[in-house]
Amino acid sequence: MRKSIATVSVSGTLPEKLEAVAAAGFDAVEVFENDLIACPLPPEEIRRRAADLGLGIDLYQPLRDFEAVPGDVLRGNLRRAEHTLELMTRLGADTLLVCSNVSPDALPDDALAAEQLHLLAERAAGHGIRIAYEALAWGRHVNEYLHAWRIVRMAGHQGLGVCLDSFHILSRGSDPIGIEAIPGEKVFFLQLADAPRLAMDVLQWSRHYRCFPGQGGFDVTGLVRHVLATGYAGPLSLEVFNDVFRQSDARRTALDAMRSLIALEEALLPSGAPPVVPSGFAFAELATGGSAELPALLSALGFARTGTHRTKPVELWEQGGARVLLNANPATEGTATPEETEPGLVAIGLETPDPAASVKRAETLLAPVLPRERAPRDAPLDAIAAPDGTALFFCRTGHADHPDWTADFPRESPVPDGDVTGIDHVALTQPWQHFDEASLFYRSVLGLRPQESMEVADPYGLLRSRALAGGGTRLVVNIARVVGAHQAPRQHVAFAVRDLRALARRLRAEHPGLLLPIPANYHDHLEARYATDPEIRELGLLYDRDERGEFLHLYTVTAGQVFFELVQRIGGYGGYGAANAAVRLAVQHAERS
């Protein structure tokens, strides 16, 4: 399907927006009036640049406060409209969005609205232009899409149709099934936006919190199905007003936007390949930063070095089903990060039933495939870059049907069988502009299901956190709204432990100082709240419960940007101990200062 995006959805000047949108592979744009007004280029030049970039200008928007007005107001409105139609001729745009009147001048008179829209459509037809009438969710009298359709049908002009906008329809809770009452040839345009579910004024919600389909809480796909059922054959066009995207790199936002449309299209077509959901973690790869901190931490936790890469300064450390790679030269993996000189997570290996299919899907969804330096004997191992720059490797460990990456690490010693059984989850901090992008990335590329996002108090700010899970893989993505000097560690790897009490007892005895100290005030509170047993305090464990089970966990001290968590899930506990994150952050800040 033809893919379009409103210029307001990305940052920059109008020429910068056009370039970013074209680079992401869009077919067309909607030109937003304010972008044009502020642009020093004449409309003819904008038209030429769009054409050179292979972009159509599928819509010009908006003409506001036009219909259902008294005669004297109409005269001024027609003058405005005539200017807009002339401008569109210069711009080469053939469809004009008219949004329902919000001014106090508007009269609650459908017949008058229809009559004046008919007049406008007639004038527009003289310029070869069509009018797409849209019900704004906060329109003064017309704010439901079926009401807009009623007026369009009443007007009965072939150059007049409706514009449907998923935000305006879904934010009001209207049922989109009524779209099927509209003949496809009268749906002149379809604008798509998602949004988080927020209980707030719909105008503010629309202007600041829209996001790309799949990043919010609306069933945009379901709405598009109803639109396609009418026979609509026009573009899918994104119109997103978002405070974060306004400040983000235009090219990156445009790629994120295109990814959302590809995922949406895939969800619409039964023929689309389903995501290849990873079945768990093959490994976590950490840069050592030239320090001995990480090997010491892993040793203490019961890991052993079981192999060393044939050609690279990378060691394999294992315990039970948990594998950690320690890389002394991480510049060869992932994309460069400013933290790469100190210990930190640089890559994650994911188990997949079909690595080639995983990479193909990632490419389809515009994930950057990373070039790999590989010695001739090394196992092929494909990697993509996640939004935070971490490399994601697609692995198939220990299966005869695929080369095994562990073969590159000739075995030096057996895998110890200790309390750690595997990797439970990995937590990654995203740049603050990329939280929604990260959710969509992991959801669409890996098929993980996002859970509700949560807020955690940090002594110096707020942390927003969202878990994504599926097929045995659990990721937690965080963004920190924290002032510069007070950043918490960026990443952690959580190991699943069989008996956390036993492990904690051993660690406290043998490695004092290895575990993050937990304030006595926390355990006072825990006992008062949950009547927990004294051993939890004695061992310095953290505790949480949900309706399905219990959670014991604890944290190691931090090495560079990374630390380890040890977790034991009891029963069907499904969370991540978020209730304790504020305590953990406070102690980490105290340890650092």
φ and ψ at 191, to 5 degrees? -105, 135
Per-residue burial over 76-85, b = 16 or more CB atoms within 10 Å of its CB, e = otherwise: ebeeebeebb
**CB-nearer residue toward a copy of itself: 364 or 460:** 460
Residue 78 touches a copy of itself, criterion: CB under 8 A: no
Closest contact distance (angstroms) between CB of 370 and a copy of itself is 26
Query: Taking CB under 8 A as the rule, which mask of x and - marks residues 475-494 in contact with a copy of itself?
Result: ------xxx-----------
CB proximity list for 493: less than 8 A, separation 6 or greater? 284, 286, 324, 345, 423, 426, 427, 562, 564, 565
Q: Is the dihedral of CA 399, 404, 410, 412 positive or negative?
A: negative
CA dist 394 and 281 (Å) reads 10
Rounded Cα–Cα distance for residues 227 and 164 (Å):
9
Please state, in angstroms and rounded to a whole number, the distance separating the CA atoms of residues 222 and 433: 28
436 is in an annotated binding site: no
Q: CB of 163: closest distance to a copy of itself in angstroms? A: 21
> How many residues bind to a copy of itself according to rule CB under 8 A?
56
The interface with a copy of itself within residues 282-311 (CB under 8 A) comprises: none
Q: Tell me if 427 sits within 8 A of 413, measured CB to CB.
A: no
Q: Taking the complex as a whole, how short is the minimal distance between the CB of residue 439 and a copy of itself, in angstroms? A: 20
Pick between residue 7 and residue 358 the one whose CB is nearest to a copy of itself: 7
Pick the piece of the chain touching a copy of itself (CB under 8 A) from 18-26, 75-83, 405-413, 495-503: 75-83
Rounded distance, CA 358 to CA 271, Å? 17
What residue type is 280 in one-letter code? G
Give the binding range for a copy of itself (CB under 8 A) out of 174-182, 372-380, 437-445, 582-590.
582-590
407 binds a copy of itself (CB under 8 A): no
199 is a contact residue toward a copy of itself (CB under 8 A): yes
Q: Which is nearer to a copy of itself, 40 or 71 (CB)?
A: 40
Query: Are the C-beta atoms of 496 and 569 separated by less than 8 Å?
Result: yes
Q: Among 79-87, 131-139, 171-179, 213-221, which window interacts with a copy of itself (CB under 8 A)? A: 79-87
How far from the centroid of its chain's Cα atoms is residue 3's Cα? 19
* Residue 452 binds a copy of itself, judged by CB under 8 A: no
Q: What is the footprint of a copy of itself within residues 498-517 (CB under 8 A)?
A: 517
Question: What string marks each residue from 523 to 552 as x (binds a copy of itself by CB under 8 A) or -?
Answer: -xx-xxx-x---------------------
Q: How far is the CB of 521 from a copy of itself (least distance, A)?
A: 5
382 annotated as ligand-binding: no
198 binds a copy of itself (CB under 8 A): yes
Antiparallel, parallel or unpaired: β 491-497 and 420-430: antiparallel
Dist. CA 397–CA 377, nearest whole Å: 17
Is 191 marked as a binding-site residue?
A: yes
**Of 42 and 54, which has the nearer Cβ to a copy of itself?**
42
Q: Which two tokens stand for residue 218?
A: 């609306």
CA torsion, ordered 287, 292, 295, 300, to nearest 10 deg: -140
Q: Which of 61, 171, 248, 465 binds a copy of itself (CB under 8 A)?
A: 248
Indicate which single residue of 4, 9, 11, 491 sits in contact with a copy of itself (rule: CB under 8 A).
Answer: 11
Q: Which residue among 409, 442, 522, 555 contacts a copy of itself (CB under 8 A)?
A: 522
Residue 492 assigned as binding residue: yes
**336 binds a copy of itself per the rule CB under 8 A:** no
Side-chain-side CA neighbours of 261 within 13 Å: the count stands at 24
Nearest-approach distance from CB 276 to a copy of itself, in angstroms: 35
Helix/strand/coil for 307: strand
CB 466, CB 454: distance < 8 Å: yes
Inter-residue contact 383 to 370 (CB < 8 Å) = yes
Q: Does 42 bind a copy of itself (CB under 8 A)?
A: yes
Residue from 247, 311, 341, 413 binding a copy of itself (CB under 8 A):
247
Q: For 52, which DSSP code?
A: H
| 425 assigned binding-site residue | yes
Check residue 92 for interaction with a copy of itself (CB under 8 A).
no
User: Which of 362, 368, 493, 496 shows the shortest CA–CA distance to 428?
Assistant: 493
User: Under 8 Å CB-to-CB from 201, ≥6 apart: which residues?
Assistant: none
Annotated ligand binding at 239? The verdict is: yes
Of 72, 104, 173, 200, the residue at the interface with a copy of itself (CB under 8 A) is 200
Residues paired with 382 in a beta bridge = 394
Q: Which residues are annotated as a binding site for Mg(2+)?
A: 425, 492, 565
Q: What are the residues binding a copy of itself (CB under 8 A)?
A: 11-13, 16, 33-34, 36-40, 42-43, 76, 79-80, 82-84, 87, 198-201, 204, 243, 246-248, 457-462, 481-483, 517, 519-522, 524-525, 527-529, 531, 582-583, 585-587, 589-590
